[in-house]
Amino acid sequence: MENQDQIKDGWFFETCPLWPGMGFSLEIEKILYHKKSRFQHIGVYQTRHHGKMLALDGIIQLTESDEFAYQEMLAHVPLFAHPRPEQVLVIGGGDGGILREICRHGSVKTIDFCEIDEEVIRVSKEFLPSLACGFDDPRIRVHIGDGHAFVLEKKKEYDVIIVDSSDPIGPGDVLFKKPFYEGLKAALKPGGIVATQGESIFLHQECVLRLAKITKELFIKQGYSCIMIPTYPGGNIGICLGSLGPDLNKPAEPVPDQIQDQLKYYTPEIHAASFVLPHFAKQMLARL
Ligand code: SAM
């Protein structure tokens, strides 16, 4: 749980039991928001060099300087791997960045969005409009509640499900367990794809292996895609993917110029390359 002790001499210090023995700091100019919601502590900070930053329970969720890498990959890898995504579900992602990216896809007709903490949405709309602009699209239906409970009520409804959860500590923990993934599979239409926040291949190997094992057991195809991003622990994060049909490691159709021109990280080449893992990671996942 975050507190004033994490801000010292103009620096924000992030430490977490999930990546023991290391810390990450950003220089901040101003605390813009600092309050506990029903579920977690929410902090928004003006950093000196990385734009505004959102932290939940003291863990950095995004900075304006590099959030595009994560949002673009988590949204566009599954959406472009699917030949024609029409119905999409997003769980978590209260800042709106994933919604912003999904809305670039003209084939998408409806986007159900389930976030547990209404306050994250409200605070993002107030302080992070470049992400929360994602909420403006009329295709979005907002549901406030636990993503696991929401998924259990859905059967064969979605082409793509994206889980933009916080780490497996606090309210996000349930989203890293097998019963949730069983619910995700049941909520997918035939040929559907799930993509979930998959933590770091360097720092969270137990978690990555667990998610890879679950998706391997449940889905026809499974993959792990790596993203470079300076302000997540170790400078990287992954996406854990499961497919009921389409190949995951390439776009199903050419990426339209009209979408590509709006993006800063995603390209078809990066899509394919992100599934090529370092030798240790390849060996680790091959042992499953
Ligand atoms: N990718 C970012 C990261 O890990 O740094 C996560 C960004 S997004 C802000 C994470 C969101 O997941 C938060 O707004 C949090 O409230 C939401 N969340 C956590 N547990 C949830 C649950 N069980 N159901 C729905 N949303 C949840």
Give the pocket of ligand 1 (CB within 6 Å): 56, 61, 70, 91-95, 114-117, 120, 146-148, 164-167, 171-172, 174-175, 197
Number of domains in the chain: 2
Give the model confidence (pLDDT) of 155-198 as tens digits.
Answer: 999 999 999 998 898 889 999 999 999 999 999 999 999 999 99
Judge if 239 and 204 occupy the same domain: yes
Supply the pLDDT for residue 5. Answer: 60
CATH (domain of 158) = 3.40.50.150
Tokens (6 digits) for 263: 């993006």
Among 38, 166, 203, 237, the mutation site with the greatest number of ligand 1 atoms within 8 A of its Cβ is 166
Q: Are the C-beta atoms of 202 and 233 separated by less than 8 Å?
A: no
Low-confidence ranges of the chain (pLDDT < 70): 1-5
Q: Are residues 41 and 107 in the same domain?
A: no
d(C-alpha 208, C-alpha 125), whole Å: 32
Identify the pLDDT of residue 105.
98
Residue 288: what pLDDT?
85
Question: Which pLDDT value is given to residue 169?
Answer: 85
Q: How far is the CA of 23 from the centre of ligand 1 (A)?
A: 21
35 shares its domain with 86: no
14 and 90 assigned to the same domain: no
Kind plus residue range of the DSSP H or E element containing 76? helix 67-81
d(CA 184, CA 192): 10
* CA of residue 68 relative to chain centroid, distance: 11
**Range of 43's domain?**
4-63
Residue nearest to atom 21 of ligand 1 (CA): 172
CA angle 172, 237, 1 (to 5 degrees): 40
The CATH number of residue 8's host domain is: 2.30.140.10
Task: Mark whether 136 is an active-site residue.
Answer: no
36 with 160, same domain: the answer is no
Q: What separation in Å is there between the alpha carbon of 176 and the centre of ligand 1? A: 12
Active-site choice (159, 164, 173, 247): 164
- Based on the fold, state whether residues 171 and 216 are members of the same structural domain: yes
